[in-house]
Amino acid sequence: MTLDDQVALLMQGTEYGDDAIKHTMARELRARLAEGRPLRVYCGYDPTSTDLHLGHTVTMRKLRQFQDLGHEVTFLIGSYTALVGDPSDKNKARPILSEEQVAANAKTYTEQAFRILDPQKTKVRYNGEWLAELSLLDLIKLGQNFTLQQFMARENFAKRLDSQEPIYLQETFYPLMQGYDAVALKTDVQVGGTDQLFNIVVAGRKLQEALGQKPLVGVILGILPGTDGTAKMSKSMGNHIAILATPEDMYGKVMSIPDQAMPAYFRLITRYTPDQLAAVERGLADGSRHPRDTKMELAREIVSIYHGDAAVAPAEEHFKTIFQKGALPADIPTVMLADAPLLVEFIVAQKLAASKGEVRRLIEQGGVKVDGQTVTDITARLEVTAEAVVQVGKRRFVKVVRG
């Protein structure tokens, strides 16, 4: 690839909220690439849960692009930063995890990440290696590079301050710790989401410069919307697509996203090049591409990434059979619903399962679906705008109609 092609590919999907910052990062990236050496690239992941979803893979896909171009990639497990909790996109402090929880979660993170990253070309590090060695005096010296006003000006802190929500002192440590990660790794490029803009472009670059290193290039990526097409993909919101989802479930959930969300999915989590992406967006804009066919193309690409090409056709046929051909029993009972009950309680009330415990087990085993989408949250509510089909196991169905 030419230098121009490399810059275009690596900057694809980036968002900075400021054109001047974007131009600066692109210019500095070009200069680093022109040096003709493998760049040191990393992204940090705080193992705050066990399961990853497609929203987590946005940065992993970018790391893979760097790998494919011959650069050195480090998958950094935030074994110490997870103990503090990243406040970047939160309106309240994160709960502090135990070291045991962090260790257990970290193991599943790496296993799932290698569905995207090349395990032979990936260094896995834990930031406890160096953060555990910092003394109180070291932390004070790092803090001397920042003012309290810089932290309070951050949008999430400012909102919490205005609403008189507490801001805990340890939350201000997080950017210092992440910035020191960049120093410890002697980073050329750090990849992260827009919620990490301050931590990367301000804290990381400033600490590197203060400690005699060349400031890193921040590759800041957009946030993937969930299946609702608006809110950030999140397991807690139930709008996520799990990396470990079955091919059929993954295909069906991709097909459920709103049309307007498709460009973001193509841009952030597929293997499409800038030219291919431009063709998709142009076709959707001028009407030469049908949204349904384009969404099926997207679903095939995502299933292929996580399950291989052989899984694509069966997943697509399953979707066509269930949703396009309406292959559901003809005698499904219909229930009118005026509110949004807990799904577990609804299933027991409709005698689709004998007990709440049985329903919870079925949900954990992937045996409960609403309109073909596997339910993973045992606390989910049955929210229906018009009508929906609830399926429990292979043969128990009920149609719910809003009334």
Kindly state whether residues 338 and 318 are assigned to the same domain: no
- Within-domain flag for 329: no
Kindly state whether residues 217 and 365 are assigned to the same domain: no
Kindly state whether residues 271 and 340 are assigned to the same domain: no
Kindly state whether residues 122 and 215 are assigned to the same domain: yes
Q: Provide the pLDDT confidence category of residue 89 given band limits of 50, 70 and 90.
A: very low
Kindly state whether residues 254 and 345 are assigned to the same domain: no
* Residue after which a domain boundary falls, among 262, 295, 324: 324
Kindly state whether residues 204 and 272 are assigned to the same domain: no
Kindly state whether residues 88 and 200 are assigned to the same domain: yes
- Within-domain flag for 236: no
Q: What confidence tens digit (pLDDT) does each residue in 155-208 have?
A: 778 888 888 888 888 788 888 999 999 999 999 999 999 989 999 999 999 999
pTM exceeding the 0.85 threshold for the entire prediction: no
- Within-domain flag for 231: no
Kindly state whether residues 274 and 183 are assigned to the same domain: no
Q: What confidence tens digit (pLDDT) does each residue in 327-356 have?
A: 666 567 888 888 889 999 999 999 888 899
Kindly state whether residues 57 and 137 are assigned to the same domain: yes
Total domain count, the chain = 3
Assign residue 284 the CATH number of its domain.
1.10.240.10
Q: What confidence tens digit (pLDDT) does each residue in 369-397 have?
A: 888 788 988 999 998 777 788 989 877 88
Kindly state whether residues 71 and 97 are assigned to the same domain: yes
Residues 222-227, mean pLDDT to the nearest whole number: 91
- Within-domain flag for 396: yes
* Residue after which a domain boundary falls, among 203, 221, 239: 221
Structural domain of residue 270, as residue ranges?
A: 247-324
Assign residue 342 the CATH number of its domain.
3.10.290.10
Q: Which of 6-10, 100-104, 128-132, 212-216 has the lowest mean pLDDT?
A: 100-104
Kindly state whether residues 33 and 167 are assigned to the same domain: yes
pLDDT at 270 over 80: yes
Kindly state whether residues 369 and 296 are assigned to the same domain: no
Confidence at residue 173, expressed as pLDDT on a 0 to 100 scale: 86
Three-class secondary structure assignment of the chain: CCHHHHHHHHHCCECCCCHHHHHHHHHHHHHHHHCCCCCEEEEEECCCCCCCEHHHHHHHHHHHHHHHCCCEEEEEECCCHHHHCCCCCCCCCCCCCCHHHHHHHHHHHHHHHCCCCCHHHEEEEECHHHHCCCCHHHHHHHHCCCCHHHHHCCHHHHHHHHCCCCCCHHHHHHHHHHHHHHHHCCCCEEEEEHHHHHHHHHHHHHHHHHCCCCCCEEEEECCCECCCCCCECCCCCCCCCECCCCHHHHHHHHHCCCHHHHHHHHHHHCCCCHHHHHHHHHHHHHCCCCHHHHHHHHHHHHHHHHHCHHHHHHHHHHHHHHHHCCCCCCCCCEEEECCCCEHHHHHHHCCCCCCHHHHHHHHHCCCEEECCEECCCCCCECCCCCEEEEEECCCEEEEEEEC
- Within-domain flag for 238: no
